[in-house]
Amino acid sequence: MTTGRPFSTEELARIRADFPLLARTVRDGRPLVYLDSGATSQKPRMVLDAERDFYEQHNAAVHRGAHQLAEEATEAFEGARASVARFLGADPGEVVFTKNGTEGLNLLAYAFSNAAAPGALDGTDPAWADRLRLGPGDEVVVTEMEHHANLVPWQELCRRTGATLRWIGITDDGYLQDPAEVVGPRTKVVALTHVSNVVATHVDLAPVTAAAQAVGALVVVDACQSAPHLDISDLTAPDSGVDALVLTGHKTLGPSGIGVLWARRGLLEAMPPFLTGGSMIEVVRMEGSTWAPPPQKFEAGVPMAAQAVGLAVALDYLSDLGLDRVQAHDQALMRHTLEVLAQRPWVRVLGPADPADRVGSVAFTVDGVHPHDVGQILDDSGVAVRTGHHCAWPLHRRLRVPASTRASFGVYTTAAEIDAFAESLDRVPQVFGVAV
């Protein structure tokens, strides 16, 4: 439970003024009501300015040159890493920049595949090496509520290695079932979301990490939906039971094309690299090569320096707002959204009924109306939401719905926008003849 207080009306007005896109109109001059932050967030002006300033004043190849611009670019890039580490409560040496959260999860999954190659784990701490070896008889555990980004890479890992994929089920109202019923002595990896992008469940990680630690399994957390709304620094604490996590910039007020993989130093040192080439090497000879220490070992090629700088500014912006207050704001919006939808009995909300167990979004269905049609009605009124299976097809099958409509929040979302959304939603029964 958060101890912060929601933003006041005046504070929200100041926050919204930082986001230029929110001032535009859509659909013949209608004010934009942006409720699709769970897909991608809007960017504050200081993030846009930080990217532009890098290109205008410091643009050069990071870690490549000895001239002043290259030094400035490298300093900015490594400074961004330090800022991300501060947001996570972690050491900068444990922060790897990736293209997005999906690439971070693939990096982890491929490390297990690459660990099987001859010599891949030579010189590795035997304890970590044993945890990275995966083959027939071993198991990877996910949950039934995963985004495809935290499901398909593990499916493919199991296909490549002969391991077995298992999953923790969910209840009808979106809670995880007992992980101890699935996690067992053959489990090598447990990968799960921190917050579902559909049912919005704020997953209690403690039972999962306890079950994993009991059998020596690694725990990987997808924090892409939680990072914009919660203080996630507790996940990197030494006693958290979490071994790795990912987040993505474009959902966290930052640029597209940048993400973060955080992992324990011992795990990063043991993992074979995913991509190879320039910048990630120590020594290269025609006969073979050795790798730079992490995090550089996983950052082949010229990195996305401007985007990293923008992401650092975005995370600092969230921190400056106060992450306890960001969470309180989200909770206030959640309570209000559930209240207005409860007044519309023709709407079925997916996920927990208790707003305290939810973060960031509300997905729903309307009796007898396809979510795409619901989205079109809302869009006609200037309300932007997401429709479809939200890259979580198995979860929708479990909930016995083909798709859903999702309204998701950002730090800039207001209660008045939720009211505008609800009023626009009332057109759906009128257009499609739904009984009210």
Catalytic residues: 391
What 3-state DSSP class applies to 144?
coil
Sheet holding 361-366, edge to edge: 347-350, 361-366, 404-408, 386-388
What is the rounded distance in angstroms from the CA atom of residue 6 to the CA atom of residue 331?
A: 8
- Give 282: exposed, middle or buried? Use CB within 10 Å, 0-12, 13-18, 19+: exposed
129, two tokens: 């090496």
Closest by CA position to 407, among listed 314, 338, 356, 357? 338
Closest by CA position to 232, among listed 223, 222, 243, 244? 223
Please state whether beta strands 383-384 and 33-34 pair in parallel, antiparallel, or not at all (unpaired): parallel
Q: Which residues are CB-neighbours of 404 under 8 A, at least 6 positions away?
A: 198, 350, 363, 364, 365, 371, 387, 388, 389, 390, 396
**Alpha helix positions (H), 94-174:** 101-114, 126-132, 152-161
What is the rounded distance in angstroms from the CA atom of residue 77 to the CA atom of residue 306?
A: 8
Please identify which residue in the block is written with the tokens 């730090």: 411
141, two tokens: 């555990």
What is the rounded distance in angstroms from the CA atom of residue 167 to the CA atom of residue 174?
A: 14
Closest by CA position to 369, among listed 401, 332, 323? 401
